[in-house]
Amino acid sequence: MNRRLGVAAAAYFGLWIAIVGCVIYGIVQAGYSAPLAVAIAFLLFVCVNGSLAYRAHVRQLRSEGKQPPPYLQYLFFPRGLPKPKEAAPKSTHLLVGIAAALTGVFFVFCGAALAFDAEWSRLSQPFLAAALCIVLASMGVAFLWLAWRLIAFARQPRIDVA
């Protein structure tokens, strides 16, 4: 049985590789960029696999006599809608922390680059330019602080109180 499953999985992935290759090739030949073609192929993959998983889930729920969720809700939230007070997984904290850190570094860099590259004597409103530099750098520091908190929270061991 495991051999059949392995052959079926290999055939499934081989079929997807062929489909994705054809979609990317066709979009690039139509004159669009390769990153756009890759993004469209990825969305196609997500939608088709989500639809297949939804059909299987609907069949299972209907056989149990339960009401299936709406299609788009299942496609974007297969485990159900998140609860407002429910803690996010550690991986989510880590990914959002990395994104916040990159954004913070970008804002600090922009604020510092504007401050050091400006020809202050030639500006008509140097105080406005200085305020803009300070605001950008402050936003960057705020994003870096947020990233520090998110990544530190993701590294803490989980304490189960039950």
- Residue 120: pLDDT above 70? yes
Residues 6+ apart with CB under 8 A from 54: 71, 74, 75
Task: Give the CA distances from residue 116 to residues 43, 119, 124, 125, 135, in Å, rounded to whole numbers and listed in that order.
Answer: 43, 8, 17, 16, 15
The pLDDT value given to residue 21: 92
The pLDDT value given to residue 145: 95
**Model confidence, pTM:** 0.51
The pLDDT value given to residue 100: 95
The mean predicted confidence, pLDDT, of the chain is: 87
- Residue 92: pLDDT above 90? no
Q: How confident is the model at residue 121 (pLDDT cuts 50, 70, 90)?
A: confident
State percent of the chain over pLDDT 70: 94
Residues 6+ apart with CB under 8 A from 44: 19, 20, 23
- Rounded mean pLDDT of 146-151? 90
- Rounded mean pLDDT of 20-30? 92
Can you read off the two tokens belonging to residue 14?
């081989």
